[in-house]
């Protein structure tokens, strides 16, 4: 077994990415403080070839040097849009027939492993602030909550880790 070189990875160009069919998911970032987390979400979204990332509230927007450090150029490939209020992003997506889910520990939430999405519709996933989580106002508007089960003392994954876990799981369910 040998590690592949970058030239052997069959990476597509930004133009090819923009023209390619997208995974029918949008990530909504609800007041994310860390520029590194924002960049990481862009990079993960590029890897899964998502439709877009929606940046809401105090979430910083590209171009920004600190976002770019972890995004590694993904802010150029992944479309993004800014909303002053997360509620506006949710309502816009619901008008476009998306199912919008908050990723949060909440009463009546779906456990990620048990969650069976309706892939006849596109999906959007809200990820909340590193300390406060998804705003209750956004949860109230969402079509449901998805919870990633946790078993340690923290019960709090880093936002970028949560995005990776959820998108991997949803992508596997979509292709299988």
Question: Any idea what the CATH number is for the domain that residue 52 is in?
Answer: 3.40.1280.10
* Cα(29)–Cα(61) distance, integer angstroms: 11
CA distances (Å), 80 to each of 26, 61, 65, 88, in order? 9, 9, 17, 15
Which alpha helices (H) appear in the chain, and where do they start and end? Answer: 14-19, 35-47, 65-71, 74-77, 86-95, 136-141, 159-175
57 belongs to a structural domain: yes
**Tens of pLDDT along 91-130?**
999 999 999 999 999 999 999 999 999 999 999 999 999 9
45 belongs to a structural domain: yes
Q: How many domains does the chain have?
A: 1
* Range(s) of the domain holding residue 60: 20-175
Q: What is the pLDDT of residue 167?
A: 98
38 belongs to a structural domain: yes
Longest distance between any two alpha carbons in the chain, whole Å: 51
Confidence of residue 33 (pLDDT cuts 50, 70, 90): very high
Task: Give the angle subtended at the CA of 48 by the CAs of 47 and 52, to the nearest 5°.
Answer: 100
* Cα(3)–Cα(131) distance, integer angstroms: 38
* Cα(164)–Cα(159) distance, integer angstroms: 9
Residue 84, burial from CB neighbour count under 10 angstroms (0-12, 13-18, 19+): exposed
47 belongs to a structural domain: yes
11 belongs to a structural domain: no
Give me the percent of the chain exceeding a pLDDT of 70: 100
6 belongs to a structural domain: no
146 belongs to a structural domain: yes
171 belongs to a structural domain: yes
**What does the mean pLDDT of the chain come to?**
97
């Amino acid at each position: 077994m040998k590690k592949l070189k970058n030239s052997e990875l069959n990476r597509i160009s930004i133009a090819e990415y923009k023209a390619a069919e997208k995974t029918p998911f949008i990530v909504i970032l609800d007041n994310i403080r860390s520029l590194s987390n924002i960049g990481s979400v862009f990079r993960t979204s590029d890897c899964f070839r998502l439709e877009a990332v929606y940046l809401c509230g105090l979430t910083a927007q590209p171009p920004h040097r600190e976002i770019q450090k972890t995004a590694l150029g993904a802010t150029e490939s992944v479309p993004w849009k800014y909303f002053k209020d997360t509620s506006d992003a949710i309502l816009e997506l619901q008008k476009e027939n998306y199912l919008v889910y908050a990723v949060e520990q909440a009463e009546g939430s779906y456990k990620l492993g048990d969650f069976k999405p309706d892939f006849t519709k596109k999906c959007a996933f809200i990820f909340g602030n590193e300390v406060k989580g998804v705003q209750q106002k956004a949860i109230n508007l969402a079509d449901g909550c998805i919870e990633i089960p946790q078993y340690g003392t923290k019960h709090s994954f880093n936002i970028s880790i949560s995005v990776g876990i959820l998108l991997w799981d949803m992508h596997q369910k979509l292709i299988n």
